[in-house]
Structure 1
Amino acid sequence: INNNHVPVLLSFSAFSRPSSVPVGSGYEVLIQKFLSIYGRQIDLHRKFMIQLYSDEWAQYIDLPKGFIISEKCKLRFVPLETDVTVLGNLIPATTVFFCCDMQERFRPAIKYFGDIISVGQRLLQGARILGIPVIVSEQYPKGLGSTVQEMDLTGARLVFPKTKFSMVLPEAEAALADLPGVRSVVLFGVETHVCIQQTALDLLARGFEVHMVADSTSSRSMMDRMFALERMARTGIIVTTSESVLLQLVGDKEHPKFKEIQNIIKASAPESGLLSKV
């Protein structure tokens, strides 16, 4: 172990694995380390906590708030006993939109791309009306082009390039850290079975509630799309639609922005071939 890393013993259930993390690592790094080692055994439908072994008390104690790794220690990952039902409530103050890789070069390859563009634009309009932050990624824009012109990114909090498939990169995490009340992510874009799925799973692992907008995501293959939707739904990700999201965010006919949102959804979202393949 070099001077920049600290040895840690990571325990889950009956298993223990020695490892190391960088000096100064906090809760998020520890979660990712646990998932990298024990991910297949951890049921993400459950809430969980990390505990630290205390020499003073000779037993494990709840990890103190703001804890960082500074010396050799023993940690255990503890799922809580009760399964947690995800209610899927959405309110603007705790919601952020993730728009993933809706780029020009994907236009000829992605099935029903025109339909998911039009639905994505409705979501972006709704976000502006309701004051919801929007984070936008572009996969290798040098080769794949920028976000399509039909989608108006005016007011987006962050537009960033990436090469990793998941959107959960330092740029996006920093933007989320600046939005401390956010707990729900509305996710849409391409491809369903690659960047969308990997982003959704990474967000779920970090404790966010993920709403995946089925009428604004697609793939080159409908089989890939179908099985990705099924896998995400089983994992606890909420598979929903754009109209459901927008009306849930408004919540009341008397909401001051209801009329503006109603104008967006007066024309129903396209009932394209996406529907028959879900």
Structure 2
Amino acid sequence: MLTTDNTLLVIVDVQGKLATLMHDHDALFKNLQALAKGSVLLDIPILWLEQLPEKLGSTIPELQDILSDLTPIEKSSFSGCGAQAFTSALKASGRQKILLAGIEAHICVYQTAADLLFQGYEVEVVVDAVSSRTLQSKDVALDKMSALGADLTTVEMALFELMETAEAPQFREIARLIK
């Protein structure tokens, strides 16, 4: 089970014009915002990756506003695990369960998931907060990540699992994020 004590959110490469080319990007952006805001409300640590920001641009403003207290981790490798700053921050967090979101599902999200699983982390891919330019690429990526041992979840499922009860102090605010 995901808990507020064992979980960390990783947001991968939701940047620039590329982000607007994703399949159903409006729903993707809405879900990413809800996931990020919910994680902040629940005090879930967030690691935020950017792929070559000087070339691809910075993270979309809708997420930058939510993550303004954090600094993105730059990378050139497709996997976040190829960035020393990411692996160091991950180890320092002490968290073993990783919620994984971002783009593109079949490249950077997939390779990050594979590396995390190989290193012994438990990965849950947030299916409504990942995307690719085509639905087929996203579907194949989800199949491959699942076959490697990643669990699949949704924004609503993950946030409610983290709250555990309707008596959680954040319940009303998180319920509003989902609607």
Q: Which residue of 2 aligns with 1:90?
A: 2
Q: Secondary structure at the match of 2:80?
A: coil
Cα RMSD of the aligned pairs, angstroms, is: 1.2
Question: Which of the numbers 40, 50, 69 marks the counterpart of 1:128?
Answer: 40
Distance in 1 (alpha carbons) for counterparts of 2:122 and 2:20? 32
Q: Which residue of 1 aligns with 2:92?
A: 178
Unaligned runs of 5+ in 1: 1-88, 268-278
Structure showing the higher helix proportion among its residues: 2
Instruction: Show the 5 A alignment for 1:133-148.
Output: 133-148=45-60
1:154 Cα shift?
A: 2.6
TM score, norm. by length of structure 2: 0.94
Question: Which of the numbers 130, 141, 161 marks the counterpart of 1:228?
Answer: 141
Q: How many residues align?
A: 176
Unaligned runs of 5+ in 2: none
Instruction: Show the 5 A alignment for 1:94-173.
Output: 94-151=6-63, 152-156=66-70, 158-168=71-81, 169-173=83-87
Structure showing the higher strand proportion among its residues: 1
Q: Do the aligned residues in 1 keep the contact of 2:19 with 2:103 (CA within 8 Å)? A: no
Bigger Rg over Cα: 1
Distance in 1 (alpha carbons) for counterparts of 2:19 and 2:120? 33
1:165 Cα shift?
A: 0.4
Distance in 1 (alpha carbons) for counterparts of 2:69 and 2:158? 20
Distance in 2 (alpha carbons) for counterparts of 1:113 and 1:104? 12
Q: Which runs of at least 4 in structure 1 moved beyond 3 Å after TM superposition?
A: none
Distance in 1 (alpha carbons) for counterparts of 2:90 and 2:51? 19
1:261 Cα shift?
A: 1.4
Q: Secondary structure at the match of 2:11?
A: strand
1:240 Cα shift?
A: 1.0
